[in-house]
Amino acid sequence: MLPCALCADPHASPKLLGTALTLLGGLAGWLAQQDQALGEVLPAVLVALQSQDDKLARNAATTVYRWCQHASLATRLLDRHRAWVENVLLLHSLAGGVQQRRGARALCGSAAHTA
């Protein structure tokens, strides 16, 4: 069992939750071998991804990114937690996906050229 602030209270202090997310991102190798612990944190990470606190949502996105960079954890997520992965992809799509980031970069680029 994985004791963490994220699992215990997904609505706790955003700073505490951000720290928990950062730590979870670094535990990709361990989580790849701990299906029970992984199953316990996935719902909380999904909640954090939808947070109105932009920094907390970014921390959650960074955690997911770090997990996806770890081959065995990414495989485990696809094999055993496909519904969770599909929910993450849906959230990403609803938020504008990659196109939104490209638009923001283009906007920032044009603002830099006019300054």
User: Can you give the residue ranges of every domain in the chain?
Assistant: 5-114
d(CA 53, CA 114): 31
Express each pLDDT in 69-102 by its tens digit: 999 999 999 999 999 999 999 999 998 876 655 5
Query: What digits encode the pLDDT tens for the residues 41-63?
Result: 999 999 999 999 999 999 999 99
pTM: 0.77
Residue from 55, 50, 62, 63 nearest 13 by CA: 55
Question: For residues 92 and 85, what is the distance between their CA atoms, to the nearest angstrom?
Answer: 11
- Cα–Cα distance for residue pair 46/69, rounded to 1 Å: 18
